[in-house]
Structure 1
């Protein structure tokens, strides 16, 4: 129904536009016809005024009678120019106007000749020209020509006025019928709106009834989730401590074992090797080769496990740390991050470019330092030795958020690993650099706590772009206000 009403309104607007254009054209045509008729009548009147002035002068020899003649003679040229402009494009009317122009010229010449004779004192000759009747014939022909111009103009004017009246009636009918239909549509739309409003009120009442219980359920589940999160963090903390105790024992006993092995090795070194039997030779080889290698493996494994435990502890502490939003100059923060790795970058011939000035943000300073420090450190770690390293940091304003980009021209990351690198203990590419696969997982966790998102675009062999979207102002939520467990 609304579509039908819209189509009807469109039809009325279109029809009104067409009628307005037609009315404009008719108005122009009526105006032209009216002006043509007025100009024709004016020309006849001016010729008559000129003739009257001539007759008065011939009869009285008073030059006062020449004033209307002189004024009319000058005005005739302007009136003929107006007629020519009005009949442009109409060959028939142009012919009539040219004939009128010729007649007017002849008439003015006849009048001017008699006046010149009169002024020369040849009054009888001037009157003789008048008595020939030539001037009367010229005026009669001018009247007939003007009639040929005025009569069709009057007929055309009547036709145009009739057409305008017809269009006005059509416009009235269209407006009335369209208005009635629109009123019908509006009435139906109002009825539907009332029905919809009643249904909406009922739905709102039902939703309100659900909300009354939903808020309590959401609050209960939020508390359960917070308790579960706290339990997970405490569990990670306790497990890390429990793992560290036997690890410390292993590392300690390994040191004692290494010291004892050194004593045995020293003792064997003091014994001559010439009299060794097979068992003694095997023992000497174990002390010199096998056992040191085993101890090295044990030390490498315990060191790696120690790093993993420390990383788990760091992650658990990050989840419980209270965020502290404050105004942070990203220009200063990133310059400090770049300064902290400048020596390492210089050794590798890497350039760090910060496209400033960077905007200010209200967020947690420590978390931002950890996020960007980790990304810059990773970019330096995975530079491509085949080309000069370059790391670019820039930002753009996305309304209520800021997007930071850390771009490098390093090794790049395979497409299938773009999401995988943000998982805990997962890494991409050749594992020829130290690390446990925790850094980017920590970056994503921190960015999400800062109400942001992090992603990567990368092409192997060309480089990577890490994008971080953050709100300009961090607003703390319940999960971001947790206190240390």
Structure 2
């Protein structure tokens, strides 16, 4: 069947438009999945913190009770040390529980009940210890034998169960919702990939109608297509088996999205190879004797098809960068953290050293206001966090003045705060939160990047049980502030309880 060059061009452009729409739909779905995963991580973090605080409260009450009993039995004041330490920490733990339950009326009622029970228990412990100190041992033991303290502890345990059980139910609900999202995303990825394959196949079929040389390219593409279909099938099976692995959810979806993209790239390469063969063949033939259809074919090969292939290349390159960004973010969620003692002074000196040459070329000075406090955390995550912040600070320097970057740190009770301050071009107030979102950037887009760096930083910091914020004034500079616990405690670790 013969087709004019204008028909070929029109059909090719329609197919390219359809492929672009399919890629856009896949990108939107990927963003939705990433946002769902972020919301789940925030909820899981709150529930985990609530569980840890509840267990800490119970442990503190038990420690206080053990110290009281030891003192009553031995009259040795050394036993009062764990009692005094636990008694002093109960109020802050209850305050932490109340903070985590803020906004949930049922949880706040339970926390209030726990506060009353804890106050009653502490009062009972303090009364017995005071009697013992006054030499009234029998009266002190008589209070213990009433069982009032045991009853208060039992009530506290039941209240803690009332706090944790609804949280578990909420987690089950979220897991069910995410499982449904996994099924939807699987269908979208498969249907989108199939649609793109059909579009590319149609474009190849049109090209083959003009030259026998492209028939060889079609056979090579078909062979590649068979191999890719098998790989897509294998990856689809892996996706179905991994639906329950929530931490790897975004990684698997992004991985499967790469399969149709690779297919598009493969077809594009074959089209380019075939087009080169056709162009070479046409160049060997004299153009003087061309009929109108041959002239149209020559124009399509020289102008229309290279433009169409360039459009495909641009779209697939953008899609590849976006998928790589999603993969980088999701891989971090699946990595197991390894807390270890970390000297922040040494870590940041090494990080700054890797940027010295680049900073020197841009007339930028980097200073560390040491000594910096040390902590127990995941070394690799810290290196990635501060590496990203330093890279951003250098990237967005103001060329109108010499650059200055300062790194500071201070200890605040059981948490540490680190700051990376620069005198760069700054960030508008309305973008202070927006820059931490995936694929979002601020200001003039005159620097390379995909909008993943600060989203990656926030994900890492939150996994380290910390928080990151920014203060910035356009034209003056920015201060990125990171708060981290002095000692990172993994969510899987349970506080020890005495019998």
TM-score of the superposed pair, with normalisation by structure 2: 0.51
Kindly indicate whether residue 246 of structure 2 is the aligned counterpart of residue 271 of structure 1.
no
Greater displacement, 377-386 / 281-290: 281-290
Partner of 1:253: 267
Q: 1:445 aligns with which of 417, 436, 459?
A: 459
Aligned-residue RMSD, C-alpha:
3.2
What do residues 36-93 of structure 1 show as CA deviations (whole Å, max 9, x unaligned)? xxxxxxxxxxxxxxxxxxxxxxxxxxxxxxxxxxxxxxxxxxxxxxxxxxxxxxxxxx
Partner of 1:305: 319
Kindly indicate whether residue 448 of structure 2 is the aligned counterpart of residue 434 of structure 1.
yes
Highest CA radius of gyration, 1 or 2?
A: 1
Local SS of the residue matching 2:310: helix
Local SS of the residue matching 2:409: strand
Distance 2:343 2:480 in 1: 20
TM-score of the superposed pair, with normalisation by structure 1: 0.52
The aligned runs of 1:91-170 (5 Å cut-off) are none
Local SS of the residue matching 1:467: strand
Change (3 A) 1:282 1:389: farther
What do residues 70-124 of structure 1 show as CA deviations (whole Å, max 9, x unaligned)? xxxxxxxxxxxxxxxxxxxxxxxxxxxxxxxxxxxxxxxxxxxxxxxxxxxxxxx
Distance 1:259 1:345 in 2: 43
For the 8 Å contact 2:470–2:481, the answer to whether it is kept is yes
Partner of 1:411: 425
What do residues 4-59 of structure 1 show as CA deviations (whole Å, max 9, x unaligned)? xxxxxxxxxxxxxxxxxxxxxxxxxxxxxxxxxxxxxxxxxxxxxxxxxxxxxxxx
Kindly indicate whether residue 479 of structure 2 is the aligned counterpart of residue 465 of structure 1.
yes
Distance 1:235 1:429 in 2: 32
Distance 2:274 2:293 in 1: 20
The aligned runs of 1:202-217 (5 Å cut-off) are 210-217=159-166
Distance 1:462 1:274 in 2: 66
Change (3 A) 1:383 1:295: farther
For the 8 Å contact 1:226–1:479, the answer to whether it is kept is no
Runs of 4+ in 1 over 6 A off after TM superposition: 200-208
For the 8 Å contact 2:248–2:333, the answer to whether it is kept is no
For the 8 Å contact 2:248–2:331, the answer to whether it is kept is no
Greater RCO, 1 or 2 (C-alpha within 8 Å, sep 6+) = 2
Partner of 2:367: 353
Partner of 1:134: none
Kindly indicate whether residue 423 of structure 2 is the aligned counterpart of residue 425 of structure 1.
no
Number of positions where the alignment pairs a residue of Structure 1 with one of Structure 2 = 284
Deviation at 1:443, TM superposition (A): 0.7
Local SS of the residue matching 1:478: coil
Distance 1:477 1:336 in 2: 29
What do residues 162-213 of structure 1 show as CA deviations (whole Å, max 9, x unaligned)? xxxxxxxxxxxxxxxxxxxxxxxxxxxxxxxxxx98xx99999987655444
Partner of 2:333: 319
Deviation at 1:337, TM superposition (A): 1.7
Deviation at 1:453, TM superposition (A): 1.0
Partner of 1:388: 402
Kindly indicate whether residue 354 of structure 2 is the aligned counterpart of residue 336 of structure 1.
no
